[in-house]
Structure 1
């Protein structure tokens, strides 16, 4: 079974030209033809910066996909019952069987919370575990967050994809810790350096797709046809799942 998976930090829809335009994000996803899309920096009724829009439900409606959301920040207002949220999300062409949001370690010195979205997707009657996260740039917090993720992966036997903005460099200590347990798809089939940030003239690889050893990589690419849509470029991988 073949499936296309993409990870994309959308910067709440605000592009490098400072325009808020979710239509560009939707167009990039649509043209990529990805089946599963992990998103970082997604707003739900969060603030004026994104016009208080529920971004993930809007994208899901436009693209006719199922979705799940994991808030990393939740703020409540005295004047509204609607929580203001910001975090990670998943869009799926396949049925989402399960989804759970878990907060993971974040240093009190930094305002931004961190979470992991844990989902199980049904593809041709077979389950695939898909995790979406956005790891801290703080080394101490990042180390603890990675430990949490890897422990979860090791305790779960399903074929697994973990994707998101990891705020780490390939070959770094953090990367090596993950690579002992999972495979970095870019190292298997990517060309050049796979830089994703900043979207114009990228010079860092911050966005990753990691897979368990029971998944095969066919092809991997950085999607760069519309760099103005966000400050990150998405990474797209075509995977092959073993049949039971």
Structure 2
């Protein structure tokens, strides 16, 4: 089966639903890992409104960390978890949202995780270890393949990214397509957002989609979408 998995830092939805919705719709994602979703006033309603505007559903429902997984109508959600990661003094609390999903009427099961690493290097290094352990545990319990989408707040030559890429495939590096840099719009120069996938998953393509939508007007990050082939 082919599955489109995306990651998108929404910048707190500051640009508003009218700006974000066309970008999210154009991603055509079956699974979308989002960061900087609302986590205070009316956070459930605002997340739900964004998902509904693109024909998606919110699969995970934790508030901490501002991360969530959204799923398309072709995916069945089997299980969801939300984990607050180890706190670091004077740093923002980080979290992992994960959902176990499978396509309706097809084979193959994924555990999809959304994460947002800190600006602090020590916190990133610790949290990436936590995230891998949590994802591997869920994958083993549900016999699922791992996909991770997130904002790493560092680039591919730095330690946390390299650690992730040693355990999982960096999808853009495997099969680059579209754009590469994701931050900061409107003229991004750094690739700090990525989709990673288990080695048994075939990466067909991955990158910033060039679809004509106003990505620069919707967020300070550009989205990334990977097309994956799961199973036979």
TM above 0.5, yes or no, is yes
Aligned residue in 2 for 1:239: 228
Aligned residue in 1 for 2:132: 150
> TM-score with structure 2 length normalisation?
0.88
- The structure having more radius of gyration, on CA atoms, is 1
The reply to whether residue 207 of structure 1 matches residue 193 of structure 2 is yes
Q: Give the gaps of 5 or more residues in structure 2.
A: none
> TM-score with structure 1 length normalisation?
0.84
For the aligned residue pairs, the C-alpha RMSD in angstroms reads: 1.9
1:5-24 equivalence runs, <5 A: 5-14=5-14, 20-24=15-19
Give the ranges of 4+ consecutive aligned residues of structure 1 lying more than 6 Å apart after TM superposition.
none
1:87-102 equivalence runs, <5 A: 87-93=66-72, 94-102=75-83
In the TM superposition, residue 35 of structure 1 has moved relative to its aligned partner by 1.2
Higher strand share: 1
Describe the SS at the equivalent of 1:70: coil
Structure 1, residues 62-105: CA drift from partner, whole Å, max 9, x if none?
223221233225xxxxxxxxxxxxx1111111121111100112
Structure 1, residues 133-156: CA drift from partner, whole Å, max 9, x if none?
111111111111011112234443
The reply to whether residue 27 of structure 1 matches residue 22 of structure 2 is yes
- Of 212, 221, 226, 2:207 maps to 221
1:89-168 equivalence runs, <5 A: 89-93=68-72, 94-110=75-91, 112-123=92-103, 124-155=106-137, 156-157=139-140, 158-168=144-154
In the TM superposition, residue 60 of structure 1 has moved relative to its aligned partner by 2.2
**Count of aligned pairs between the two proteins:** 220
Work out whether residues 81 and 97 of structure 2, in 8 Å CA contact, stay in contact via their aligned partners in 1.
yes
Q: Give the gaps of 5 or more residues in structure 1.
A: 15-19, 74-86
Work out whether residues 35 and 150 of structure 2, in 8 Å CA contact, stay in contact via their aligned partners in 1.
yes
Work out whether residues 116 and 132 of structure 1, in 8 Å CA contact, stay in contact via their aligned partners in 2.
yes
In the TM superposition, residue 52 of structure 1 has moved relative to its aligned partner by 6.5
Describe the SS at the equivalent of 2:79: strand
Instruction: Report the Cα distance in structure 2 between the residues aligned to 1:106 and 1:193, rounded to whole angstroms.
Output: 34
Larger mean Cα displacement after TM superposition, 92-101 or 61-70: 61-70
Larger mean Cα displacement after TM superposition, 129-138 or 149-158: 149-158
Work out whether residues 117 and 152 of structure 2, in 8 Å CA contact, stay in contact via their aligned partners in 1.
yes
Instruction: Report the Cα distance in structure 2 between the residues aligned to 1:191 and 1:58, rounded to whole angstroms.
Output: 30
1:190-201 equivalence runs, <5 A: 190-191=176-177, 194-201=180-187
In the TM superposition, residue 205 of structure 1 has moved relative to its aligned partner by 0.9
In the TM superposition, residue 43 of structure 1 has moved relative to its aligned partner by 0.6
Aligned residue in 1 for 2:53: 62
Instruction: Report the Cα distance in structure 1 between the residues aligned to 2:26 and 2:145, rounded to whole angstroms.
Output: 26
